[in-house]
Structure 1
Amino acid sequence: MSRAWPLIRAYGPTVFGLALLVGAIYVLQREFRGLSVAEVGEALRAIPASSLWIAAGWTVAAYMLLTIYDRLGSIYAGHPVGYARTSLASFCAYTLAHNLGFAAVSGAAVRYRFYAAWGLSPLQIAKVVAFTSLTFGLGGFALGGAVLLFEPEVVPFVGEGASLWVPRAFGLLLWAAVIAYITLARFVPHLHLFGHRIDLPGFRMALAQTALASTEVAVTAAILYSLLPPSEDLTFLIFLGVYVTALTAGLLAHVPGGIGVFDGTMLLGLQHHLTTAQLVGALLLFRLYYYVVPLFLAGALFAAFELSQRRAAMARITAAVGGGAPFEVPALASLVGLGGTVLLFIGALPPRGSAIEAWGGYGAALASHFAASVVGSLLLVMGYGLLRRLRLAWGAALALLLLGAVITGLRGDPWWVAGAFVFVAGLLATLRGAFYRDARLLAEPLNGEALFAIGAVAGCALVLALVAYGGAVAGESWWRVVLSPLAPDSLRFTVGLSAVLLLVALVRLLRPARFAPVPYDAEARRRLAALGALAPAEADGAVFGEQGRAGFAFLKRDGVWLGLGDPMGEERDRVSAVWRFRDICERAGVDPAFWRVGPDLLRVYGDIGLTAFPILTPESRGLRYLACRAERDLERLRALLPEEPVPAPRRARAAA
């Protein structure tokens, strides 16, 4: 069990999230059977203008409530910040984190950008982050407990005929956790948990947290509820139960905005109250109100703030590491994944009445329909490669986006759909320098494993494409071919196996090779000293770049492996050493961190999801940093941080 735990810790959340996503895709394809774009458009046109204005009002109210989280958090941290500033930090942090969902632009990293500039120390920022995260959780616990206690049958998979004592018991546990927190805050100023001291906010603050978070979740649910048509048996309490369940599933899936998982759970929970077209139309508008429009506003505000802070240092660091801004790549990866999702949804709709059928015949319509599913699946995989800054993923995503534009154009979909694919491809093309890593196919000799992966990609694509030209299930998406009772068992097995092999082969092509750390012995110390890196008398291991021309030593701490200084050596190999350390830590089920690093590679540390906190070292007149996962590891590494803000020089502060 001790050996299995690191693997469970490293891959358990991902596997669980993928399981939720697969289940959501199954629900979506089932609910979309027989659904047409025209029906969704008709449902959208049926929503009255008054409902649109009400939903807009609820959206403003929801984000105003979220801004109070940060205001209370700064008070709890002992450094109150004005409401105007906390509103800016809260709006940008929540909007970017909810939409993108990647560590490089997580709420903790975004908040650090703001609060560090406003004079808060790293530990004070960590308190703000912990307070806001806990507040959000309290709201979910309080409302989730209420739903499970009073309306457990509305939760998907429970139903009216199921035994209700299990969800009600779980609801009592959720309420017990909230009550215990409030009680402890009343009588205990702080407590020690897992070796860490946790300062409790006080009784009144704990009550305010719970009430505020519960209200915020309910108000956010009201946005979607106001967009639904009236239904006699769908009360707000019933709807709230389904919404909280869907929100929880989306958070557990770890996908940006809970896309697919949240929507599938809502469709499953409300299928007996409203039609699929009505639900899909309302969900599209909800995402427009709560996700898309705020994302553009927050992105513009955050970019303006970043530019005002970085100035000349931004250009210097970008030139040093050859990458784009930490915000840009995750945002584009999210857009690429969204494009893949759109194509998957297009592939789930029946191919009837498309423009390509009018001039190319039914076979051409089937081919375009099936191609949308395949290209959409590949774009989802490429989003993973973009996050890892892989050159191969950049080129493949660019080609697939243009292919998606061709497919949607030939199908006769609205012009702006194809235009959106071209627009994202254009944005991606401008960031060629941000993708500086070689994937397995390009970094290694063309050995048998690589040839097998290439052959699997080509062969599976051929098999999947041939299915589109004949048979009773020719017009189905590839996953619906596997599930369709009309398909022969041999065909279902072949298509299912081909799809799995296709995705596995692509992941193998895009995944950098795995490496193990070098034992820290006399030879490792000699190599590090020759490269100019720190070579302490004792360390737990060393990591070198892909060419062996840059490296650094590291220490193992509880849940964190701490690199000692920047990798030193050849410039490009320094970057590969950072990424190799990240891959090694991921495999070991721990978080990477770097101590006493300079400003040169801060962009690369940001690319792997680390936030840089300034520190001063006795032997250095310049500014040094601790780079770590702010949302998880600040408390573990607090001994390495100053209690008060570091008076950073202007250029170094801009680099952070």
Structure 2
Amino acid sequence: MSAGGRVLAALKRHGPTVFGLLLLVAALYVVQREFRSLSWRDIQGALAATPASALWGAAGFTVLAYLILTAYDRLGSVYAGHPVSYLRTSLASFVAYSLANNLGFATVSGAAVRYRFYAAWGLPPIAIAKVVAFTSLTFGLGGLALGGLVLLVEPEVLPFFGDGAPRWLMQAAGLLMWAVVAAYVLLARFVPHFRLAGYQIDLPGFRMALTQTALASADVAVTALIFWALLPPAEGLTFLHFLGIYVLALSAGILANVPGGIGVFDGAMLLGLSGYLPAPEVFGAILLFRLYYYIVPLFLAGVMFAGFEMSQRRHLFERWAPERGVAISFEVPAMAALTVLGAMTLIFIGALPPKASPLAGYSDLLHEMSSHFAASVVGSLLLVAAYGLMRRLALAWWAGIVLLLNGALVVWLRGEPWWLTGGFLLLVGLLATVRPAFYRRARLTAEPLSEGTAAALAALAVCALTLASVAYAGRYAEMSWWGVALSGNTPHTLRFAVGVAGVLLLVAAVRLLRPARPPAVPYDEATRQRLAALGALAPPPGEADGAVFGEAGRAGFAFVKRDGIWLGLGDPAGEAADRVSAIWRFRDICEAARVDPAFWRVGPELARVYADIGLTVLPLAGGAEGARFLACRPERDLEALLPLLPGEQDAP
């Protein structure tokens, strides 16, 4: 591969992640800048000043927003040719959007939740894939339509560009967004089917395309009204102008791919509204908006989904055996999302202005442990721990426990409200109860100590000592570590040292929380015999492209390579614990190769693990009851896989 090809491949693989991190860093900078003049007393005052009429209005707009969302799924089922009653689509829509909006991770997407509901109601996988595609596209149409309207009417709305961008350029961008929407509607009118990248795309028809656009626009506008209702009147801030700021902030949160857009959405709203309202009033509205649109619906959706799951089980304790072929695991993404929330809380604390510590004059050590600097470092490391938690790493579980306890100590020593300390301790307790869900070994614990791992350990130790020495020096304890690096009043050498130490600390932590390297084995006669001895499906050489074995080498399976998808042939066979590590190794191999993993002819006993790696387990036609399933990412790969699997095109 040429140098240019390697660069493009690296951008394709890491570009979205890097872009999301850049958005998060930019948001942290905005929060840091805006919070320097804030205090909890100011925020509490702004919350207390919110009139009851605004609270009731926001509640009404929240109900209306979710009612509009229910129409997405109803139209989607009609488009797929399998109309489902409005009551059922309302349930699927509310639960899917509530969980996906809050958790934000690919392993628990709205697509996976919809597959669980619609499969139980008898829809075939292809029809469910069409419902998922329809709902995803509908949401995007609303952002494009309203974003184009705002840029055409009030192109100055974008706070990141200010007056530097010509008015005509912003209006041209708005016209381009409208052109995309118009092209979709016209294609739906005149071109009912077309092929793209080897896939047949079925468009919904002219009337339904118009309905999609109108519904999506109404959804985004009404959701913005929730926030708008919670803000006090501001001179010069019209709803259309606010709508542009909201759409931009919402888009940034989605692109950053963090749970609920936390940090990124908040920072963009603070920046966009900074010229109209004081920061305490904006932040108070953000807290109430998250309560209305995220937290309360998430609680209700969790209760509804739990009730649905119990109604679908003949035996309560067979929780993860998929009777209709779909299994979803929620506790790990939920714990990771809550850990991110704890991390952002500490980061926000690190951005607040200094206040008198209750320990001042008693213990210098404890005082420095509760400083802004310490809070910002612990919060940053908790973000890395959440990354490891999503990969089910046991080392990340231990790191999360230690860092959350540290966070509880920081907020307690600072004299923050008691419920903040209690929240951290509650999260520690919740994380402790799901210890078996974190069963993977990190590279640090699973492999011999390599030069790269030793370098990461050394960098972690040196950077931690560097940051600790700055924190305990006292002079900069009431600034976050990135605040020191960005401050113009700090000596240049110190700024450089703290900035490099902070970045290297996080990079080293990420490297140490990487899973063990997943080796693939070439498929030859020796490999075939080894798999056969384990009891795995072992086709003749030439009919498989490779094999994967677990960390202990006592379980494995063969796989074949298809365009963009690598397909495991059956469940891993062998020792129970090593079967799980073999599945995860295959997932990591596919991630490195930039392809999607899938498994054919699997049983229900490992459905939980397939769900953990982001796959949905679907029933296939024929065979003994409960014996044949396909584990894949159906919203992306099902249509391409079914023609390759003999006899499966008519799967229920």
Q: What's the TM-score bracket when you normalise by the shorter of the two chains?
A: over 0.9
- 1:600 paired residue number: 605
Q: Secondary structure at the match of 2:639?
A: coil
Partner Cα separation in structure 2 for residue 33 and residue 590 of structure 1: 45
1:33 lines up with 2:72 in the alignment? no
User: Out of 413, 428, 434, which is 1:431 matched to?
Assistant: 434
Shift of 1:189: 2.2
User: Out of 630, 635, 645, which is 2:634 matched to?
Assistant: 630
Q: Secondary structure at the match of 2:439?
A: coil
1:94 lines up with 2:97 in the alignment? yes
Shift of 1:392: 1.2
Contact 2:370 2:410 in 1 (8 A): no
Shift of 1:479: 0.6
Deviations 1:516-572, CA, capped at 9 Å, x for gaps: 422222222222222221222322222111122211122222222111111112111
1:562 lines up with 2:567 in the alignment? yes
Deviations 1:354-406, CA, capped at 9 Å, x for gaps: 32336446981575322211111111111111111111111121122122111
Paired amino acid for 2:166: S
Deviations 1:220-277, CA, capped at 9 Å, x for gaps: 0000011111012000000001111111111111111111111111111111111111
Paired amino acid for 1:583: D
- 2:262 paired residue number: 259
* Aligned residue runs from structure 1 range 195-234, under 5 A: 195-234=198-237
- 2:589 paired residue number: 584
Partner Cα separation in structure 2 for residue 78 and residue 162 of structure 1: 47
Change (3 A) 1:632 1:167: farther
Q: 68-77 vs 304-313, which deviates more?
A: 304-313
1:151 lines up with 2:115 in the alignment? no
User: Out of 204, 222, 241, which is 2:244 matched to?
Assistant: 241
Q: 523-532 vs 635-644, which deviates more?
A: 635-644
Deviations 1:53-95, CA, capped at 9 Å, x for gaps: 1011100100010011001111111111111111110000001
Partner Cα separation in structure 1 for residue 361 and residue 337 of structure 2: 34
- 2:393 paired residue number: 390
Partner Cα separation in structure 1 for residue 640 and residue 44 of structure 2: 52
RMSD value, Cα: 2.0
User: Out of 129, 150, 154, which is 1:126 matched to?
Assistant: 129
Q: Secondary structure at the match of 2:441?
A: coil
Deviations 1:283-332, CA, capped at 9 Å, x for gaps: 111011100111111111112212322353854858xxxxx971111101
Partner Cα separation in structure 2 for residue 452 and residue 177 of structure 1: 49
- 1:440 paired residue number: 443
1:349 lines up with 2:352 in the alignment? yes
> Identical aligned pairs, as a percentage?
66
Partner Cα separation in structure 2 for residue 162 and residue 378 of structure 1: 37
Change (3 A) 1:347 1:378: same
Partner Cα separation in structure 2 for residue 583 and residue 7 of structure 1: 16
Paired amino acid for 1:631: E
Partner Cα separation in structure 2 for residue 19 and residue 616 of structure 1: 46
Partner Cα separation in structure 2 for residue 516 and residue 433 of structure 1: 25
Deviations 1:634-654, CA, capped at 9 Å, x for gaps: 2322424845563xxxxxxxx
User: Out of 132, 139, 160, which is 1:136 matched to?
Assistant: 139
1:78 lines up with 2:81 in the alignment? yes
Shift of 1:147: 1.4
Q: Secondary structure at the match of 1:224?
A: helix
Q: Secondary structure at the match of 2:599?
A: strand
Paired amino acid for 2:195: H
- 1:107 paired residue number: 110
- 2:402 paired residue number: 399
Deviations 1:437-491, CA, capped at 9 Å, x for gaps: 1112221234554444333333322221221233643321001010011211221
Partner Cα separation in structure 2 for residue 81 and residue 114 of structure 1: 11
Change (3 A) 1:398 1:436: same
Partner Cα separation in structure 2 for residue 486 and residue 146 of structure 1: 43
- 1:373 paired residue number: 376
Shift of 1:502: 1.4
1:42 lines up with 2:49 in the alignment? no
Deviations 1:324-361, CA, capped at 9 Å, x for gaps: 97111110110011101100110111221232336446
1:186 lines up with 2:189 in the alignment? yes
Partner Cα separation in structure 1 for residue 596 and residue 615 of structure 2: 10
Contact 1:121 1:642 in 2 (8 A): no
- 2:502 paired residue number: 499
Paired amino acid for 2:286: L
Q: Secondary structure at the match of 1:192?
A: strand
Partner Cα separation in structure 2 for residue 633 and residue 356 of structure 1: 58
Contact 2:602 2:630 in 1 (8 A): yes
Paired amino acid for 1:557: R
Deviations 1:582-617, CA, capped at 9 Å, x for gaps: 111111111111111111211101001110111035
Change (3 A) 1:73 1:360: same
Contact 1:7 1:588 in 2 (8 A): no
Partner Cα separation in structure 1 for residue 584 and residue 590 of structure 2: 10
User: Out of 516, 520, 523, which is 1:517 matched to?
Assistant: 520
Shift of 1:174: 1.4
Compare relative contact order (CA 8 Å, sep 6+) and give the higher one, 1 or 2: 1
User: Out of 526, 529, 541, which is 2:546 matched to?
Assistant: 541
Q: 364-373 vs 189-198, which deviates more?
A: 364-373
Shift of 1:513: 2.5
* Aligned residue runs from structure 1 range 477-492, under 5 A: 477-492=480-495
User: Out of 296, 303, 306, which is 1:300 matched to?
Assistant: 303
Q: TM-score, normalised by structure 1?
A: 0.94
Contact 1:366 1:475 in 2 (8 A): no
Contact 1:58 1:219 in 2 (8 A): yes
Partner Cα separation in structure 1 for residue 447 and residue 364 of structure 2: 44
Contact 2:616 2:633 in 1 (8 A): yes
- 2:324 paired residue number: none
Gaps of 5+ in 1: 319-323, 647-656
- 1:7 paired residue number: 10
Change (3 A) 1:642 1:148: farther
Paired amino acid for 1:623: A
1:21 lines up with 2:18 in the alignment? no
Paired amino acid for 2:294: Y
Paired amino acid for 2:630: L
Partner Cα separation in structure 2 for residue 289 and residue 7 of structure 1: 40
- 1:653 paired residue number: none
Partner Cα separation in structure 2 for residue 435 and residue 530 of structure 1: 29
Partner Cα separation in structure 2 for residue 315 and residue 436 of structure 1: 20
- 1:456 paired residue number: 459
Shift of 1:164: 2.3
Partner Cα separation in structure 2 for residue 483 and residue 507 of structure 1: 23
Paired amino acid for 2:601: R
Partner Cα separation in structure 2 for residue 527 and residue 7 of structure 1: 35
1:572 lines up with 2:609 in the alignment? no
Partner Cα separation in structure 1 for residue 15 and residue 622 of structure 2: 38
Shift of 1:19: 1.1
Contact 1:51 1:227 in 2 (8 A): yes
Partner Cα separation in structure 2 for residue 268 and residue 333 of structure 1: 27
User: Out of 273, 276, 286, which is 1:273 matched to?
Assistant: 276
Paired amino acid for 2:595: V
Partner Cα separation in structure 2 for residue 269 and residue 277 of structure 1: 14
Paired amino acid for 1:420: G
Q: Secondary structure at the match of 2:404?
A: helix
Paired amino acid for 1:609: G
Deviations 1:99-124, CA, capped at 9 Å, x for gaps: 00112210010001111111101011
Partner Cα separation in structure 1 for residue 642 and residue 9 of structure 2: 23
